[in-house]
Amino acid sequence: MIYKPVDIGTRIGMICGLIGLLMIVTLGGCNPKPVATKNRVPTLQENAEQAQKSAEDAAVSAKQAQDALTKLQQAPHEKQAGEPEHTGIGRVTDVTEIWEPKDQTVWGDAYTAFTFLEDNGFQKRFYPVCSDQVIQTGKPLVILYHWRVSHNGSHNDHGCFLIDGYQVKP
């Protein structure tokens, strides 16, 4: 083996390099250690302020809900008698005659009724239908109707559905 002399400057450079490497490894590498974050515990005062704010928000929400309920209760719930209405496009699915009993042994008056099923799936039962009404079946149509109040004290004291007309759809 042949020995080659190493320059003294190279030896010192290698030693300094090793010392630097050891310092980097022992001190945690090139990345600095993360700073420990404090766990912040809220104080009793902060909790009380937050609870007070939540209570105020709840009171405002309750007042808004009460105002909305009052507004809904004051609004008319149903259409007024005689106000024209109409169905969507659909078909009459059944027409029936319903007998209402007067008492346990005697049958009273008969009423015509029918069910209308719109193409969008909404179903409406027309009962009772005013006398002498023509009910079209089998075609897609729109029914124009209104509720007629009974004023003559007839067998139907509340009223009945009066068909105003039809709009036949192709």
In a domain, 33, yes or no: no
Instruction: Provide DSSP, 87-147.
Output: --SEEEEEEEEEEEESSSS-EEEEEEEEEEEETTS-EEEEEEEPTT-----SS-EEEEEEE
The angle at the Cα of 69, spanning 64 to 70, to the nearest 5 degrees, equals 100
CA neighbor of 165 nearest in space, from 100, 86, 106? 86
- Which residue(s) pair with 116 in the sheet? 92, 124
Confidence at 18, pLDDT banded by 50, 70, 90? confident
Cα gap 84→79, rounded to integer Å = 9
Q: Which residue has the tokens 């010192």?
A: 12
Q: What is the mean pLDDT of the chain?
A: 78
Whether 52 is covered by a domain: the verdict is no
Burial of 126 (0-12, 13-18, 19+ CB in 10 A): buried
Instruction: Read off the pLDDT of residues 111-158 as tens digits, 9 standing for 90 and up.
Output: 889 999 999 999 999 988 888 888 988 889 999 999 888 766 555 567
60 in a structural domain: no
Whether 34 maps to a domain, the answer reads no
Residue 94: Cβ within 10 Å count:
11
Min mean pLDDT across 26-35, 56-65, 68-77, 124-133 is at 26-35
Q: Is residue 116 part of a domain?
A: yes
- Enumerate residues 6+ apart whose C-beta is below 8 A from 165: 144
Q: How many domains is the chain built from?
A: 1
Residue 25 domain flag: no
Residue 83 has pLDDT above 80, yes or no: yes
Residue 22 lies in a domain: no
d(CA 170, CA 168): 7
Q: Are strands 123-129 and 90-101 parallel, antiparallel or unpaired?
A: unpaired
Is pTM beyond 0.85 here?
no
Is residue 78 in a domain?
Answer: no
Domain of residue 160 covers 85-168
Interatomic CA distance for residues 127 and 80, integer angstroms: 17
* pLDDT (0 to 100) of residue 35: 59
